[in-house]
Amino acid sequence: MKLNLLGISASPRGKANSYYLLTQAMQAVRESEPEAEITVYDFKNKTFGGCIHCYGCRKKGHEGQCTIKDDYQELADLWVQADAIIYSVPVYHMSIPGQLKCFIDRLGQSGITKSLPSASQTGFTKSLKPMGIISQGMHIFSGQEHAITELVNHALLMGCLPVAGNLWQGYLGASGWTECLADRKALAQLSEQGTIGAQAAVDAARTLGHNVITLAQVVRAGREVVFGQGKD
């Protein structure tokens, strides 16, 4: 069975710098696992309202379906189906964009991990998704690690496996900066010019992609050995 990788570009600007780094990670995934099924979700023109804590998603028969009708459910369904996830986010106010925060608030509140198939009577759920995180901003120290840490916490709360980067180029994931340029294509242009910062960000994103899909292979193989089955 093919591995299903979900890439989430959480920039409201669409195919800009975060999207560029995500494509670098996805290229590395394709090189490491040519048969992987890759889905890229772009936040441009998407609407995510905040959780209103109505508990409607937890009512009998709802199975995690949110009562707010916007783009949340589309992404939540992709999230559940994925074997592994890579987020790529711009830094907003030293953290993640509000649209993404609304999504993960609602995902976490829905109790969606409780509805995922169990692999044993011990309650081990198949929510052990490897999760890689990429973050970029305009300035060299503008909150990239804060944004990554926010999503590492999200990974842990959702029973996922946060994936490390490649040491000096990305300790917690992958990060970069656009050297104070606001242009949507700044990182691509800086990478073409061979600047050390942009190249380090690209290398970190590619290594992260490789690490995520490799760990997804290990998790699937482990399930097959221990429980005698793959993904439900």
Residue 93 lies in a domain: yes
Residue 171 lies in a domain: yes
- What pLDDT was estimated at residue 118? 43
Give pLDDT tens digits for 196-228: 999 999 999 999 999 999 999 999 998 888 877
- What pLDDT was estimated at residue 112? 66
- What pLDDT was estimated at residue 124? 41
For residue 18, the domain's CATH number is 3.40.50.360
Residue 119 lies in a domain: yes
State which residues form the domain around 64. Answer: 4-227
Q: At what angle do helices 98-109 and 144-157 cross, to 10 degrees?
A: 10
| Alpha helical stretches, state H, 125-182 | 144-157
Residue 232 lies in a domain: no
Give the angle subtended at the CA of 36 by the CAs of 2 and 188, to the nearest 5°.
165
Residue 37 lies in a domain: yes
Which amino acid belongs to residue 104?
I
Measured from the Cβ of residue 48, the count of other Cβ atoms closer than 10 Å reads 22
- What pLDDT was estimated at residue 119? 39
pLDDT at 59 over 90: no
Name residues whose C-beta falls within 8 Å of residue 192's C-beta, 6 or more positions apart in sequence.
none
Burial 56-77 (b: 16+ CB within 10 A, else e): ebbeeeeebbbebeebbbebbe
- What pLDDT was estimated at residue 88? 98
Quote the number of domains for the chain.
1
Residue 173 lies in a domain: yes
Residue 165 lies in a domain: yes
Residue 57 lies in a domain: yes
